[in-house]
C-alpha cells in the first residue's frame, strides 16, 4: 500500500553526540508531521546504535545507507544486512548514486545488495536515476528501466513489490538543482508503469529537496515522499519536508 515516506540520508556526517541530538530534535518536532507519514533516518553504520537508542519505541524508523551483497565471511570492511537488522534497521538504501558513480558499483552489484537486504527482512530503498548526459541524450527512461530490470533479473520480479524506490536524478543530488515537479512526475509515472505491481509501490523523489520545494514535488500524483540528503541534517528543515507530505 502506498504511504507517505520521508527518509533522511545523513551520509558521512556527524559525531556520536551530534547524531543523537539530531535524532532527538526530530522526535521533539514530530507533532508537526502527519501521523501516517513514515519518517526514516539513515545515519552512518557506526552511529546506528546511538541513534537506535534515541529512537527506541518511537514512530521514526532506522535505516542504513548501504549493505553488503554477502551474508557473512571474508569480506573485509563490509556490513551484512542481518547485522543491520540486529541494530533495529528496518530499511537500507541500496544503489545510491554515490555508490554507483563515486565508488563504481554496477547495476548487478546493486541488485545483489538488494537481494541480500530483502533476505534479511529489511526493506530496500532502491535508488535509480540518470546522469545529466543520459537526460540530454533522451535516455532517462532507458537508464531507469535498466536499473530496475537488474533487480528483477537477480531477485525475481516479486522483489520490487516489497521495495521502496527512490528516483534520484544524479544531476540533482547535492547540487541545489532540483527536478521540476513535472520532470519528476514523468519519471515516477514511468517507474510505476514499469513495475509489475507499481500501483502499490512507494516511489520517493530525491535530489535537492528543501522545505520550499517539497510540497510542490509531493503534490504530484506519483510521488509518495522523498529521500533527503543535505536538508535532513537540520531538524527544522527535515521536519518541514516531512510535514509537506500528503496526509491521505
Ligand atoms: C541523496 O543523497 O539521496 C540526496 C537526495 O541528497 P540531496 O538532498 O542533498 O540532494
Question: Where do the domains of the chain lie?
Answer: 5-243
What distance in Å separates the CA atoms of residue 148 and residue 142, rounded to the nearest whole number?
10
40 touches 3 (CB < 8 A):
no
- Taking all residues of the chain, what is their mean pLDDT, rounded to a whole number? 96
39 touches 6 (CB < 8 A):
yes
Range with lowest mean pLDDT among 138-147, 154-163, 196-205: 154-163
- CATH superfamily of the 5-243 domain: Aldolase class I (3.20.20.70)
CB atoms within 10 A of CB 129: 28
Phi, then psi, of 207 in degrees rounded to 5 = 140, 90
The pTM of this model reads 0.97
At residue 203, the 3 state secondary structure works out as: strand
pLDDT of residue 28: 98
Decide if 188 is catalytic: no
Check pLDDT > 90 for residue 157.
no
Check pLDDT > 70 for residue 97.
yes
pLDDT of residue 232: 98
| Span 139-148, average pLDDT | 98
Cα–Cα distances in angstroms (integers) from residue 85 to residues 81, 123, 154, in the given order:
6, 10, 22
Please give the distance, rounded to the nearest whole angstrom, from the Cα atom of residue 226 to the centre of ligand 1: 9
Q: What percent of the chain has pLDDT over 70?
A: 99
| Span 147-169, average pLDDT | 94
34 touches 245 (CB < 8 A):
yes
Nearest-CA neighbor of 107 among 69, 164, 79? 69
Please give the distance, rounded to the nearest whole angstrom, from the Cα atom of residue 125 to the centre of ligand 1: 13
* Buried residues in 226-246 as b, exposed as e (16+ CB within 10 A): bbbbbbbbebebbbbbbbbbb
Q: What is the DSSP letter of 121?
A: T
Check pLDDT > 70 for residue 248.
no
Residue to mutate, 206, 223, 240, 244, ligand 1, most ligand atoms under 8 Å from C-beta? 206
Nearest-CA neighbor of 190 among 146, 124, 238, 229? 146
Q: How confident is the model at residue 247 (pLDDT cuts 50, 70, 90)?
A: low
Residues near ligand 1 (Cβ within 6 A): 9, 168, 173-174, 206-209, 227-231
Amino acid at each position: 500500500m502506498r504511504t507517505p515516506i520521508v527518509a533522511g540520508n545523513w551520509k558521512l556526517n556527524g559525531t556520536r553526540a551530534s547524531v543523537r541530538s539530531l535524532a532527538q530534535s526530530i522526535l521533539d518536532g514530530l507533532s508537526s508531521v502527519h501521523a501516517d507519514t513514515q519518517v526514516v533516518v539513515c545515519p552512518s553504520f557506526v552511529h546506528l546504535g546511538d541513534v537506535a537508542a534515541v529512537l527506541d519505541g518511537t514512530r521514526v524508523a532506522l535505516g542504513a545507507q548501504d549493505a553488503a551483497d554477502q551474508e557473512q565471511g571474508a569480506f573485509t570492511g563490509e556490513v551484512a544486512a542481518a547485522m543491520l537488522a540486529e541494530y533495529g534497521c528496518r530499511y537500507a538504501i541500496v544503489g545510491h548514486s554515490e555508490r554507483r558513480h563515486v565508488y563504481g558499483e554496477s547495476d548487478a552489484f546493486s541488485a545483489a545488495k538488494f537481494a541480500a537486504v530483502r533476505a534479511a527482512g529489511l526493506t530496500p530503498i532502491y535508488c535509480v536515476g540518470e546522469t545529466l548526459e543520459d537526460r540530454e541524450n533522451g535516455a532517462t527512461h532507458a537508464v531507469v528501466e535498466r536499473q530496475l530490470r537488474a533487480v528483477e533479473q537477480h531477485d525475481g520480479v516479486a522483489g520490487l513489490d516489497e521495495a521502496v524506490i527512490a528516483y534520484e536524478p544524479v544531476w540533482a543530488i547535492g547540487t541545489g538543482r532540483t527536478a521540476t515537479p513535472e520532470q519528476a512526475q514523468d519519471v515516477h509515472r514511468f517507474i510505476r508503469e514499469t513495475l509489475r505491481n507499481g500501483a502499490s509501490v512507494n516511489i520517493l523523489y530525491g535530489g535537492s529537496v528543501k522545505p520550499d520545494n517539497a510540497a510542490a514535488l509531493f503534490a504530484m500524483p506519483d510521488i509518495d515522499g522523498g529521500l533527503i540528503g543535505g536538508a535532513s541534517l537540520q531538524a527544522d528543515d527535515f521536519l518541514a519536508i516531512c510535514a509537506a507530505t500528503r496526509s491521505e
